[in-house]
Amino acid sequence: MVLAKLMKNWILICSLITTFFVSGCATGPNSHDPFEPVNRKIYQFNETLDQIVVRPIGKAYTSFVPSLVRTGVRNIFTNLGVINTTFNELLQLKIRNVPVGVARFTSNLILGVGGIFDVASEMGIPYYNEDFGQTLGYWGIDSGPYIVLPLLGPSSVRDSISKPFDFYFDPVTHISDDSTKWNITGLKIIDARSQYLSSEDMLSNSALDQYSFVRDTWLQRREYQIRDGAPKQNESSKYTSKSFRELELELDLD
């Protein structure tokens, strides 16, 4: 019941966003990014908010919180994500991965002191990362146009619609105390943002169009995830633009 209500509300939001995109721009220069003018505006809004609020907090977090503590926090969130991964592996009929996910989660939860220590990796238990968007892609649902969501960033129509399921299977969303829930959510966002601080200078100091770089790498990475590491490399593939290595070389040329 809760999931159905959440899904209904999110579909309504996605419908409004899609209507806004269509009314703002019917066509664009890229077949997979028909709403590029509107996407660019939302991207710029997200970037401005990031530079004013999120990035400074992420830098302070990295500067003042010891690396050992940050690693422990990251391990906890990663281990909690195994719940959603295992659920989606079940939906994708990757049955042999399900007990692996269960073993990884329980090992880190019990032996890793609540997930602070990643003992599962030390034990040789592999880590998989699946979400509901990948599940839809696995069953042949097309991604639809590329869109940039306010605050959430790069996405597609398929992935936008799938987000309520990922939110629902995130244990943090089920914390009853709102203050605790939002504090933990904020910490999760800050931790995730801090991971990109070391690599962002390469992009900001380059002559590349940042929006196009983010879009192309996100689309390519997403297809890579959907196809479990084997993206199409032929002319029928929608996202065969440039490899990660080619994009890195372009950055180095500046």
Amino acid letter for position 216 = D
Residues 190 and 208 in one domain: no
Residues 12 and 60 in one domain: yes
- Looking at the fold, whether 186 and 232 belong to one and the same domain comes out as no
pLDDT at 229 over 80: no
Same domain? 158 vs 243: no
The one-letter amino acid code at 136 reads L
Tell me: do 172 and 233 sit in the same domain: no
172 pLDDT higher than 70 = yes
Token pair 């907090």: residue? 57
Question: Of 158, 180, 195, which residue sits at a domain end?
Answer: 195
136-142: which pairs have CB atoms within 8 A and are 24 or more residues apart? 136/161, 136/162, 137/226, 138/92, 138/226, 139/92
| Structural domain of 245 | 198-254
**Number of domains, the chain:** 2
pLDDT of residue 9: 53
Of 195, 210, 227, which residue constitutes the final position of a domain?
A: 195
* 178-213 pLDDT per residue, tens: 999 999 999 999 999 998 887 776 666 666 788 998
Same domain, 142 and 210: no
- How far is residue 80's CA from residue 74's CA, in Å, rounded to a whole number? 10
- Quote the Cα angle for 186-189-190, to 5°: 85
Q: Are residues 191 and 205 located together in one domain of the fold?
A: no
- Scanning the structure block, which residue is given the tokens 């002191």? 113
118-146 pLDDT, tens digit per residue, is 999 999 999 999 999 999 999 999 999 99
DSSP H or E run through 58: helix 55-64
More confident residue, 8 or 156: 156
Q: Are residues 20 and 77 in the same domain?
A: yes
- Residue 204 has a pLDDT of 65
pTM of the model: 0.78
Q: Clarify whether residues 158 and 188 are in a common domain.
A: yes
Q: Tell whether 243 and 190 lie within a shared domain.
A: no
Residues 89 and 214 in one domain: no
